[in-house]
A and B are shown apart, each in its own frame.
Chain A
Amino acid sequence: MSNSTSRDAILGRIRHSLGRPAQMPDTPPDTPDEVTDRLKNPVANLIPARAQLPHAQQIDLFIKMATQVSATVTRVGSPDDIPREVARYLADQNLPARVRVAPDAGISGLAWDQTMLDISAGIAGPEDAVSVTPSFAAVAETGTVMVRSGPDHPYTLNLLPDTHIVVVHASRVTGCYEDVWARLRQSEGHGNMPRTFLWVTGPSRTGDIEQTIQLGAHGPRRLHIVLVDDT
Chain B
Amino acid sequence: MHRALPVAIRKGNNAMHVSTSPKFRENAHDALLDQSLQRALGRLKTGFKDKRSAAIAALPEFEALRDKAVEIKNHTLENLDHYLTAFEANVKANGGHVHWCKDSEEACQTILKICRDKDAKSVLKGKSMISEEIGLNAFLEKQDLQVVETDLGEYIIQLRHEPPSHIIAPAIHVHKEQVADSFRATHKGRDPNRVLDEPRDLLDEAREVMREHFFAADIGITGANFLIAETGTSVIVTNEGNGDLTQTLSRVHIAVASLEKVVPTLEDASTILRVLARSATGQEMSSYTTFSTGPRRAEDLDGPQEYHVVLLDNGRSNMLGTDFQDMLRCIRCAACMNHCPVYGAVGGHAYGWVYPGPMGSVLTPSLIGINQSGHLPNASTFCGKCEEVCPMRIPLPKMMRHWREREFEKHLGASSVRYGLKGWAFMASRPRLYRAATGLAARLLRILGGGRGALRSLPFAGGWTQIRDLPVPEGKTFKQLWEEQQKNKSRQDGGPK
Any A CB within 8 A of the CB of B368 = no
> Is A214 touching B200 in the complex (CB atoms < 8 A)?
yes
Q: Does B221 belong to the interface (CB within 8 Å)?
A: no
Given contacts A6-B101, A122-B301, A142-B284, contact A218 B291 (CB under 8 A): no
C-alpha spacing A219/B214, complex, angstroms: 12
Complex interface: chain A residues within 8 A of B59 (CB): 48, 50
**B302 in complex: contacting residue of A17, A156, A198, A201, CB < 8 Å:** A156
User: Which of B65, B81, B106, B286 gathers most chain A CB within 10 Å?
Assistant: B81
Whether A206 pairs with B152 at a CB distance below 8 angstroms is yes
Partner of A18, one of B78, B97, B175, B259: B78
**Cβ of B86 under 8 Å from chain A:** yes
**Alpha-carbon distance between A214 and B150 when the two chains are bound, in angstroms:** 16
Give the contacts of A165-209 with B (CB-CB under 8 A). Answer: 176-178, 181, 191-209
Contact with A along B64-78 (1 / 0, CB 8 A): 110010001000001
**With A14-B317, A219-B287 as given contacts, are A39 and B240 in contact (CB-CB < 8 Å)?**
no
A42, A44, A45, A178 interface centre (most CB from chain B within 10 Å): A45
Instruction: State whether the Cβ of A134 lies closer than 8 Å to any Cβ in chain B.
Output: no
Chain B 39-52, CB-CB to A under 8 Å as 1, else 0, gives: 01001100110000
Asked if B99 is an interface residue, CB under 8 A from chain A, the answer is yes
Query: Do residues B85 and A217 form an inter-chain contact, with CB atoms below 8 A?
Result: no
Quick one: CB contact mask for A53-76 with B, threshold 8 Å, 1 for yes?
A: 000000000000100010000000
Q: Mark A2-13, 1 if CB is under 8 A from B, else 0.
A: 110011011101
- Nearest neighbor of A70 in chain B, beta-carbon distance: B287
Which A142-171 residues sit within 8 Å CB-CB of chain B?
Answer: 142, 144, 149-151, 154-156, 158-160
Q: Digitize B286-330: 1 where CB-to-A-CB distance is under 8 Å, 0 elsewhere.
A: 111111111111011111000000010100011111100000000
Quick one: closest B residue to A103, CB to CB? B301
Report whether B203 and A17 are in contact in the complex, using a CB–CB cutoff of 8 Å. no
B258 to chain A, nearest CB (A): 11
Query: Looking across the interface, which residue of chain A has its beta carbon closest to that of B200?
Result: A214
Are A1's CB and B109's CB within 8 A?
yes
Please, which residues of chain A bring their CB within 8 A of the CB of B283?
A: 69, 201
B470 lies within 8 A of chain A by Cβ = no
Chain B min CB distance to A78 (Å): 28
B268 beta carbon closer than 8 Å to chain A:
yes
With CB as the reference atom, state the residue of chain B lying closest to A200: B288
Say whether A193 contacts B300, CB under 8 Å: no
* Interface hub of A2, A123, A151 (most chain B Cβ within 10 A): A2
Tell me which residues across on chain A come within 8 A of B245, comparing CB atoms: 159-160, 218-219
Point out the residues of chain B lying under 8 angstroms from A122, CB to CB: 301
Shortest distance from the beta carbon of A224 to any chain B beta carbon, whole Å: 15
Does B231 lie at the interface of the complex (its beta carbon under 8 Å from any beta carbon of A)? yes
Given the complex of chains A and B, what is the CA–CA distance between A76 and B270 in angstroms? 31
Tell me if B407 is interfacial: C-beta within 8 Å of chain A. Answer: no
What A residues does B233 contact at CB under 8 A?
Answer: 193
Q: Is the CB of B271 within 8 A of A193?
A: no
CB pair A208 B169 closer than 8 Å = yes
With A18-B78, A144-B285 given, is the CB distance from A196 to B292 under 8 Å? yes
Q: In the docked arrangement, what's the CA distance between A6 and B101, Å?
A: 6
Instruction: List, in ascending order, chain A residues with CB within 8 A of B293's CB.
Output: 193-197
Docked CA distance A178–B270 (Å): 7
In the complex, besides A42-B230, A177-B270, A218-B241, 17 extra interface pairs with C-beta distance below 8 angstroms are A10-B313, A29-B85, A38-B264, A39-B86, A50-B59, A69-B284, A123-B302, A154-B300, A159-B241, A181-B270, A196-B291, A204-B240, A204-B241, A206-B239, A208-B156, A211-B169, A218-B207
**Chain A positions near chain B (C-beta within 8 angstroms):** 1-3, 6-7, 9-11, 13-15, 17-20, 23, 29, 31-32, 34-35, 38-39, 42-46, 48-50, 65, 69, 103, 122-123, 126, 141-142, 144, 149-151, 154-156, 158-160, 176-178, 181, 191-212, 214, 216-220
14 A-B contacts, Cβ less than 8 Å apart? Answer: A6-B106, A13-B318, A17-B320, A42-B265, A49-B60, A151-B297, A154-B300, A177-B270, A194-B293, A205-B287, A206-B152, A208-B152, A209-B202, A218-B241
Which residues of B approach A to under 8 Å, CB–CB? 40, 43-44, 47-48, 59-61, 64-65, 68, 72, 78-86, 90, 94, 97-102, 106, 109-110, 113, 150-153, 156, 169-172, 174-176, 179, 199-200, 202-203, 207, 210-211, 214-215, 229-231, 233, 239-242, 244-245, 248-249, 259, 264-268, 270-271, 273-274, 281, 283-297, 299-303, 311, 313, 317-322
